[in-house]
């Protein structure tokens, strides 16, 4: 077992110092010209120290590789990604156009996995916990997200390349630097390694100032250009839009689904019978404009969220079903362990709640339910932990927050967040909307309670604070009892005190005459309160990607010549539960496969039939790579083989039972172990024997068919073939047509007649039943050249493949030549007439003469005119057709009337005020029309053109200096810049930070060129024609 990392780093540092000291000693010996033996001894000691240092470095590298998987994690990740994309689990969106970072499409198997995960989520949470499911729109008005705090606070810290303007997430850069140092730099000290690990542990706890200081301390530069970076600053991650054609209602694509549930609380509470606790759930798309999307499905700009809002009485957060999960034990990472630099530990959930590590039972119950959900999906228990949020990482209103983190090749990934959000959201929406989102608890009997009454004196406060009156009143009214009573005591003793107003961000002086604070006794018939919310939020895409990595493995093929990819999905989430394979292409087997398919469809089991005819091994490998857990092989009409993917065990099942067995195992009613014990086993060897037997039978019947077809040949056709061959041939060496030649022809005709007369005898001899039909020995099926056992049954023979027989090549050649030639004894095709052999094998001794041509004289020359006429007419028709096609092709390239109508656009400029910009649409693109002021024109002309990336004078870009017309498409990646924005008062592209000035020229950022100026002209003083 390798020594711990810290001790190895300390040993390496100690050895490094000894090497340096020994090196100094060697140099000193050389300087004072010591004896050669003394120098050699010092050098030998130095070399020995270097070897020891190298050994420690090797051990440290092995420790880092085994501990973090850094040696193979990138190769593993690439193998998984390649398999997922090749089998179309997911691919980049808009791939034919180069794709867009952070957007992905799910293919058929990926959609099936996602659908199965969501179906199980509904079963595990919505159905089993009796939750209320809702579905809300993705577009959310700005007022809703202002109330929730997203407009101001839904940000990530971003830094920019100061020269190119490229944006990066600040925490990602620091995280990558620390990981790189820890995994690749063996020379850092143990203390430095501990510091880097501590930074990784508290990374989310760092303020913008601390994050910027660390980036400067470590000298972190832009990854691509090594240019210096700006200080971190917040970037809002929401996609902004407008609702309606007027654009007067601002909105955003929702960053989460929870707000739709909060704003519907009143109706859901009524639907639930005005009772608490209850939970509402929603599955839907969410959108976040990530600064630097990466890591495949883990950080994307559009994703699927599944969120639960469990509303509970803030004074009673117990849960009646907590005992069901209290005994669960799993890795937990409380904040105390994180701050001390320790690792996660296995804790019992019930004990963690009892000790206060987890805030309350309801929060603990959902942590346990999340653990069960993830592990049943197929997530490895050893690579799943629950990490508690650090103090600065957690929102000020939250009581407690935990993240379910799954380890992948990218490290620990947050996949589920479980938070006690207290009553913040409902109170925020109550205050903003004026609608009371509260719950009621009726008392059995009226209760006399003491109520704190805070009455601000608005007249006094208005005279003192004027415009800030509302802020001061709200701050006074929101005081809690302890704070209010302390303020009352101070006012009575001092007459005035300093009071902090959070909305103003400062202290103000409050006098005794400005507020009255007292306690009054009142009778209450019911308690009115704002419920607290326990929120589990699931990132479905992240869970699915981690599932891909956790279930992926490879195993050698049967021949051990390659590694086969396998996704070991549990049947619960597998994209296809079962495949059906006819062993060979046989109508009977295919009919059985179709019947099984109908049964599987009726049982609701997703499946696929493969009748491609490829080898059964290849078909198994294809489905294993898709993660299909079961395969049915149809090798009989009465029973079939059922194979399990991971163990590759096979059983024999009756055809009528196959669908029900697969359904039971896929749905978890029965385990594979139960099925294995119930049904007879089937070995792969017997499958090979069956395949060989069927292949031999098919080949035998093929040969029998060929033999019968030869016997059915017409006798007259044979005689004609022989006579034509003999008549049209001549013997080699004949010099002229004379008496000798005529005699030879006569002899050949006689020979032909004699040979033809022997056809009947040849036919009768060939009708003998072939040996392989009667079970006798035949070279086609012989597995041993020395075997002559013709009495043994075919099915009991050795299963060695028949094509290994050395006699088969000559037999196959016999089908075309040698099989019909005399002297080749091939069993049932022997004694073929020699003339047929001559016809099948023309040799150099038989040539063709001009006599044959005399039997077929050329046509009559008088008929050639008609042939010429037909040919010429045909060529004319072909030429006309080609001309017509070319004309149609050329005409199709010209613009249609509707396109020509859109090619130009007339714009009325009279309504555009100086200093404003309007946007019009021309040829499908936005065009910015800005009416510039005198100051704008002066600013545009004051720029040093030579300092520009794309040098252009302002006069070159405008016809009338008052009007600037440019195409509103960023020249970097085609985004639409925002007008009246950026560092130079022109346009700003928020996608990658390109800044354009008041003349549309690129001044800062990655865009290579200025904004394009379209073709335009002024029809009149206030009439513009674009195009």
What letter would DSSP give residue 102? T
Break the chain down into helix, strand, coil percent, rounded to 5: 45, 20, 35
Contact (Cβ atoms closer than 8 angstroms) between residue 367 and residue 308: no
| Angle 491-494-499 from CA coordinates, rounded to 5° | 55
- Strand pairing category for 607-609 and 578-582: parallel
Q: Mind giving me the DSSP string for 722-780?
A: HHHHHHTEE-TT--SSSHHHHHHHHHHHHHHHHHHHTHHHHHHHHTSPPHHHHT---GG
The residue written with tokens 């024997």 in the block is: 689
Strand arrangement of the beta sheet that strand 1002-1004 belongs to: 978-979, 985-989, 994-997, 1002-1004
Of 172, 319, 429, 992, catalytic: 992
CB 5 within 8 A of CB 64: yes
924: its two tokens: 């499908």
What's the first-to-final CA gap in the chain, in angstroms?
A: 76
Strand 639-644: give its sheet, edge to edge: 607-609, 578-582, 630-634, 639-644, 650-654
Sheet with 167-169: strands ordered across: 167-169, 155-160, 233-236
The DSSP annotation for 664-715 comes to: HHHTTSS-HHHHHHHS-B--HHHHHHHHHHHHHHHHHHHHHHHHHHHHTS-H
Q: Which two tokens stand for residue 598?
A: 């109908």
Cis bond upstream, residue 277 (ω within 30): yes
Number of CB atoms found within 10 A of residue 475's CB: 19
Tokens of 560: 């051990």
Angle 535-374-347 from CA coordinates, rounded to 5° = 80
Q: Does an H or E element contain 49, and which? A: helix 36-68
- Please state at what angle helix 5-31 crosses helix 36-68, rounded to 10 degrees: 160
Whether 992 sits among the annotated catalytic residues: the reply is yes
Give the whole-angstrom CA distance, residue 227 versus residue 250: 37
Q: For residues 646 and 630, give the distance between their C-alpha atoms in angstroms, rounded to a whole number.
A: 9
Q: How far apart (Å, rounded) are the C-alpha atoms in residues 965 and 626?
A: 54
Contact 829, 814 (CB under 8 A): yes
- The per-residue b/e assignment along 896-923, b for 16 or more CB within 10 angstroms, e otherwise, is eeeeeeeeebebebeebeeeebeeeebe
Active site (catalytic) residues: 992
């Amino acid at each position: 077992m390798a020594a711990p990392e810290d001790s190895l780093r300390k040993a390496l540092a100690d050895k490094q110092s000894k090497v340096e000291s020994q090196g100094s000693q060697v140099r000193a010996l050389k300087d004072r010209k010591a004896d050669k033996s003394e120098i050699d001894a010092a050098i030998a000691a130095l070399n020995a120290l270097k070897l020891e240092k190298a050994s420690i470095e090797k051990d440290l590298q092995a420790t880092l590789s085994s501990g973090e998987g850094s040696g193979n994690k990138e190769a593993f990740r690439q193998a998984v990604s390649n398999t997922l994309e090749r089998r179309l689990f997911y691919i980049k969106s808009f791939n034919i156009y180069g794709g867009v970072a952070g957007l992905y499409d799910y293919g058929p198997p990926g959609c099936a996995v996602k659908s199965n995960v969501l179906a199980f989520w509904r079963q595990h949470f919505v159905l089993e916990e009796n939750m209320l499911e809702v579905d809300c729109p993705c577009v959310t008005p700005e007022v809703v997200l202002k109330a929730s705090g997203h407009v101001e606070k839904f940000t990530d810290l971003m830094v920019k390349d100061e020269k190119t303007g490229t944006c990066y997430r600040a925490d990602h850069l620091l995280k990558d630097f620390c990981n790189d140092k820890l995994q690749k730099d063996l020379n850092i000290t143990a203390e430095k390694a501990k510091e880097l690990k501590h930074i990784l542990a508290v990374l989310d706890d760092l303020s913008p100032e601390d994050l910027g200081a660390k980036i400067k301390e470590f000298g972190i530069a832009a990854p691509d250009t090594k240019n210096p970076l700006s200080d971190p600053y917040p970037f809002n991650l929401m996609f902004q839009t407008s609702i309606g054609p007027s654009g007067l209602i601002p909105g955003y694509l929702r960053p989460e689904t929870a707000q739709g549930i909060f704003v519907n609380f009143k109706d859901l509470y009524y639907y639930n019978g005005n009772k608490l606790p209850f939970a509402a759930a929603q599955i839907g798309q969410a959108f976040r404009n990530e600064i630097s999307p990466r890591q495949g499905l883990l950080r994307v700009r559009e994703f699927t969220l599944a969120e639960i809002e469990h509303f509970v009485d803030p004074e009673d957060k117990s849960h009646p079903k907590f005992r069901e999960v209290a005994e669960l034990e799993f890795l937990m990472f409380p904040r105390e362990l994180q701050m001390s630099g320790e690792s996660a530990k296995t804790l019992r959930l019930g004990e963690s709640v009892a000790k206060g590590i987890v805030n309350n039972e309801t929060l603990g119950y959902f942590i346990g339910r999340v653990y069960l959900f993830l592990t049943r999906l197929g997530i490895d228990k050893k690579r799943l932990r629950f990490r508690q949020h650090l103090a600065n990482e957690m929102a000020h209103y939250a009581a407690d927050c935990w993240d379910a983190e799954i380890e992948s090749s990218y490290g620990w990934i947050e996949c589920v967040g479980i938070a006690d959000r207290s009553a913040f959201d409902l109170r925020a929406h109550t205050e903003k909307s004026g609608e009371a989102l509260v719950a009621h608890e009726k008392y059995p009997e009226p209760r006399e309670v003491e109520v704190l009454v805070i009455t601000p004196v608005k007249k006094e406060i208005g005279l003192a604070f004027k415009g800030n009156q509302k802020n001061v009143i709200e701050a006074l009214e929101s005081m809690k009892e302890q704070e209010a009573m302390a303020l009352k005591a101070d006012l009575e003793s001092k007459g005035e005190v300093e009071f902090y107003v959070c909305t103003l961000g400062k202290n103000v002086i409050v006098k005794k005459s400005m507020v009255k604070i007292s306690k009054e006794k009142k009778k209450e018939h019911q308690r009115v309160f704002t419920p607290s919310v326990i929120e589990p939020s699931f990132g479905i895409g992240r869970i699915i990607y981690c599932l891909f990595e956790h279930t992926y493995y490879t195993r050698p093929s049967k021949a051990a010549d390659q590694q086969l990819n396998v996704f070991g999905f549990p049947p619960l989430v597998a994209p296809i539960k079962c495949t059906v394979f006819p062993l060979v292409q046989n109508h009977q087997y295919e009919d059985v496969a179709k019947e099984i398919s109908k049964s599987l469809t009726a049982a609701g089991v997703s499946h696929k039939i493969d009748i491609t005819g490829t080898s059964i091994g290849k078909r198994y490998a294809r489905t294993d790579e898709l993660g299909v857990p079961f395969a049915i092989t149809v090798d009989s009409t009465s029973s079939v083989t059922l194979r399990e993917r991971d163990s590759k065990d096979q059983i024999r099942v009756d055809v009528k039972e196959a669908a029900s067995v697969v359904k039971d195992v896929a749905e978890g009613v029965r385990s594979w172990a139960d099925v294995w014990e119930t049904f007879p086993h089937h070995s792969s060897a017997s499958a090979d024997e069956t395949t060989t037997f069927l292949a031999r039978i098919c080949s035998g019947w093929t040969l029998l068919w060929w033999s019968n077809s030869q016997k059915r040949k017409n006798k007259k056709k044979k005689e004609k073939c022989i006579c034509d061959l003999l008549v049209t041939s001549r013997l080699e060496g004949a010099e002229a047509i004379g008496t000798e030649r005529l005699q030879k022809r006569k002899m050949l005709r006689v020979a032909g007649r004699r040979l033809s007369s022997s056809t009947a005898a040849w036919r009768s001899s060939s009708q003998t039943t072939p040996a392989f039909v009667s079970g006798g020995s035949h070279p086609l099926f012989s597995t041993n050249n020395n075997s002559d056992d013709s009495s043994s049954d075919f099915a009991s023979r050795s299963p060695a493949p028949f094509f290994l027989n050395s006699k088969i090549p000559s037999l196959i050649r016999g089908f075309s030549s040698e099989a019909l030639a005399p002297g080749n004894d091939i069993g049932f095709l022997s004694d073929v007439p020699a003339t047929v052999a001559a016809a099948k094998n023309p040799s150099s001794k038989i040539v063709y003469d001009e006599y044959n041509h005399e039997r077929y004289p050329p046509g009559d020359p008088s008929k050639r005119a008609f042939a010429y006429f037909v040919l010429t007419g045909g060529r004319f028709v072909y030429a006309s057709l080609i001309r017509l096609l070319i004309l149609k092709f050329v005409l199709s390239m010209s613009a249609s009337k509707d396109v020509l109508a859109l090619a130009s656009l007339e714009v009325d400029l009279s309504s555009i005020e100086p200093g404003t910009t309007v946007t019009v649409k021309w040829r499908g693109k936005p065009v910015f029309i800005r009416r510039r002021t005198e100051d704008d024109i002066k600013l545009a002309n004051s720029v040093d053109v030579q300092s520009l990336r794309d040098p252009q004078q302002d006069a070159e870009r405008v016809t009338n200096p008052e009007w600037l017309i440019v195409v509103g498409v960023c020249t970097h990646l085609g985004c639409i810049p925002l007008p009246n924005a950026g560092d130079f008062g022109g346009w700003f592209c928020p996608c990658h930070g390109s800044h354009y000035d008041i003349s549309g020229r690129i001044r800062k950022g990655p865009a290579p060129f200025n904004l394009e100026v379209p073709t335009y002209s002024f029809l009149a003083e206030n009439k513009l024609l674009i195009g």
